[in-house]
Amino acid sequence: MKTLTGFMYYPDSLAESGGVTYFLARSEEEYTKYLGIMTSMPGATGQLLADFRDGQGIARDSSASTHLYPLTPENAAALSARLPWLRPQPLGLCATAGFGDRLGLATPGHVRAVENTGIKPIFAQQSVRENARTRRTPQQVLDDAMWGVFQTGWREPWGADADHLKTPTDIDAFYDAGFTFFTIDPGEHVDNATQADSLETLREKVRGLPWDRLDARPEEVSQRYLNQTFQIEDFSLAFEEETLLRALAKYGRAIAHTVEMSRHLVGRSGKEGYDLEVSVDETHTPTSAEEHFLIASELRRLGVQWNSLAPRFTGRFEKGVDYIGDLGEFEAQFARHAAIARHFGTYRLSLHSGSDKFSIYAIAARQARGLLHLKTAGTSYLEALRVVAQVDPELFRKILLLAIERYEEDRASYHVSAELAKVSVGENVPGQPDAELAPLLDQFDARQVFHVTFGAVLDRFCAPLMDVLRANENLYYEYLETHFKKHLEPLLQDRPFNQNTG
């Protein structure tokens, strides 16, 4: 950063438009950031800057004047109207990576990790569940990412993902904020009990599906799939009655709900103004190849246009830790799912709970052949805690104690298996040496304990945590860059990831 009349400014943020220069500045003592605007036409300043609010002049001479403005939603909207690359946009069918940011400070680190990879980034990504725990609004999530984009001078396309949407009302809040990627989560409409149901129970469940919303009759669906062979590259699919009934009973209501959500989104934006993802990953049992084929076929028949599908893969995709399961079995199943996606040709596979799944990235890249979306979330928060462990060990100890206290309650809505008894510090948190704190973030059980308790930590320690990160932002960016390059570099082993296929 460079100095400007008592403030530091970020040189990469400098942008000129219409005779006005925009930049991001930071106070030297309080670490508060401001939008800086410099105009070389002092007499016309009021007219040129009428859309911006609450500015303060910091410099003026006969040839130029400089004002600083707070980073408010109004000023974010005014700036992105002048600099269009600051607005997210649909990214289409290409290699993408989503970077969740629970604190709103991580985007510059995400930029460092993704630049020059050819992977298109989704810098704003948050779920309704995460927003409830962080007490952030969709607009705050989007604006925080936008200011990070501005700070770094990123000029390439980027996206904004409204994650795990369950109701039309959820869609509206994110659409109104400007999000461009919408992840529909119909998990509550998936019937997980079908795996153990008898044939007669399956028949009864299928008869009870909302056929009016599926725009079909049961016998019509049977005609489409039974006694048919579907060739998918080097393998074929054939539906026996039980296979079809089990797939319909398991996913029929989820398909109907997805159609309802998609039509609501189309009503808001039209068919071309967004990316859509269908997520069935948070279910109890893996999605079979036949189930995947049925979901895609029926969604296509019902007019849904989507860019990515997140099946429930074999093995365990727990939060904050590597993949748990047989890698050979995962690759065999993933290869079939990837082939089905290529068969339809209009969407790619999506890896949810993709944070820290280092053992499967190369497999996914190889089998997906460039059509892959990687979705990460809480791992940026864990890197923030790594900064705290290094520069403020006492605050880290307080966070650790609270995380241990809240884990059993907060784990309820997450796929985790950590056991408190295996968190190595046990009851000796106050006496834990400083050098042994940061390594806890690499220990399986402690890592998951930290991962799922972020809401409670932010309720109690948000202010000091944010102070530490703002005062040590470059250290935070360095940790993020290092960590996310470990995610992205395996994806680059397959050359299509360096090509724009969108």
Whether 123 has a pLDDT exceeding 60, the answer reads yes
pLDDT at 405 over 50: yes
Contacts of 358 by beta carbon, 8 Å cutoff, 6+ apart: 322, 486, 487, 490
298 pLDDT band, cuts 50/70/90, is very high
In this prediction, residues 463-477 reach a mean pLDDT of 97
User: Can you tell me the mean pLDDT for 481-490?
Assistant: 97
Residue carrying structure tokens 């590597």: 322
DSSP state string for 179-216: --EEEE--GGG--GGGGG--HHHHHHHHHTS-HHHHTS
Task: Give the Cα-Cα-Cα angle 6, 12, 18 (nearest 5 degrees).
Answer: 90
pLDDT tier at 140 (50, 70, 90 boundaries)? very high
What are the two backbone dihedrals, phi and then psi, of residue 143, each rounded to the nearest 5 degrees?
A: -65, -40
Which residues on neighbouring strands pair with residue 26, listed in sequence order?
Answer: 8, 33
pLDDT-based confidence at 46, cuts 50/70/90? low
pLDDT of residue 457: 98
Average pLDDT of the residues in 256-262 = 98
Region 199-206: mean pLDDT is 98
Instruction: Name the helix (H) or strand (E) containing 126.
Output: strand 120-127
Band of residue 431 on the pLDDT scale cut at 50, 70, 90: confident
What are 86-117's pLDDT values in tens digits? 999 999 999 999 999 999 999 999 999 999 99
Does 499 score more than 50 pLDDT?
no
Which residue's structure tokens are 């040590």?
472
With a cut of 80, say whether residue 489 has pLDDT above it. yes
The residues that bridge with 332 in the sheet, in sequence order, are none
Q: In this predicted structure, what is the pLDDT of residue 270?
A: 82
DSSP 377: -
Mean pLDDT (whole number) for 304-324? 96
Tokens 């700036």, located at residue: 79
Give the model's pLDDT for residue 21.
Answer: 94
Q: Residue 273 has what pLDDT? A: 87
Q: Given this model, what pLDDT does residue 206 score?
A: 98
SS3 402: helix
pTM, two decimals, is 0.94
Superfamily of the domain at 85-194+214-377+485-498: Aldolase class I (3.20.20.70)
Q: Which residue has the tokens 């296929």?
A: 501
Q: Please give the pLDDT value at position 199.
A: 97
Q: What is the dihedral of CA 292, 296, 299, 301, to 10 degrees?
A: -130
Between the alpha carbon of residue 145 and those of residues 86, 149, 154, 251, 310, the distances in Å are 9, 6, 11, 35, 24
Task: Cite the active site residues.
Answer: 163, 277
Closest CA to 28 of 13, 14, 11, 9: 9
- Of 152, 162, 170, the residue nearest 15 (C-alpha): 152
C-alpha angle 159-165-166 in degrees, rounded to nearest 5:
170
- How far apart CA 72 and CA 111 sit, in angstroms, is 22
Residues 6+ apart with CB under 8 A from 232: 289, 293, 336, 339, 340, 343
pLDDT at 495 over 60: no
The pLDDT, as a whole number, for residue 50 is: 87
How far is the first Cα of the chain from the last one, in angstroms, to the nearest whole number?
A: 35
pLDDT (tens digit per residue) in 362-386 = 999 999 998 999 999 999 999 999 9
Can you tell me the mean pLDDT for 462-481? 98
**Residue 271: per-residue pLDDT:** 72
| Mean pLDDT confidence for 165-169 | 96
409: left (phi over 0), alpha (psi -120 to 50) or beta: alpha
Residue pair 368/338 in contact by the 8 Å Cβ criterion: yes
**Yes or no: domain 2-82 corresponds to CATH 3.30.200:** yes
Does position 56 have pLDDT exceeding 50, yes or no?
yes
In percent, the amount of the chain with pLDDT more than 90 equals 85
Range name among 43-47, 232-236, 405-409, 476-480 with the lowest pLDDT average: 43-47
Q: What is the CA radius of gyration of the chain?
A: 24
SS3 41: coil
What pLDDT, on the 0 to 100 scale, is given for residue 430? 79
Q: Among 428, 435, 406, which residue's Cα sits nearest to residue 418? A: 406
User: In this predicted structure, which of 31-45, 429-443, 479-493 has the lowest mean pLDDT?
Assistant: 31-45
Q: Mean pLDDT, the chain, as a whole number? A: 93
Q: How confident is the model at residue 426 (pLDDT cuts 50, 70, 90)?
A: low
Closest CA to 136 of 459, 412, 411: 459
Dihedral sign from CA coordinates of 458, 461, 466, 472:
negative
Residue 99's DSSP bridge partners are 376
Mean pLDDT of 119-142: 96
Angle at 323 between CA 402 and CA 376, to 5 degrees: 65
On the 0-12 / 13-18 / 19+ scale of CB atoms within 10 A, 54 is exposed
Give the single-character DSSP code of 288: P
Which residues have C-beta within 8 Å of that of residue 327, sequence separation ≥ 6? 359, 360, 363
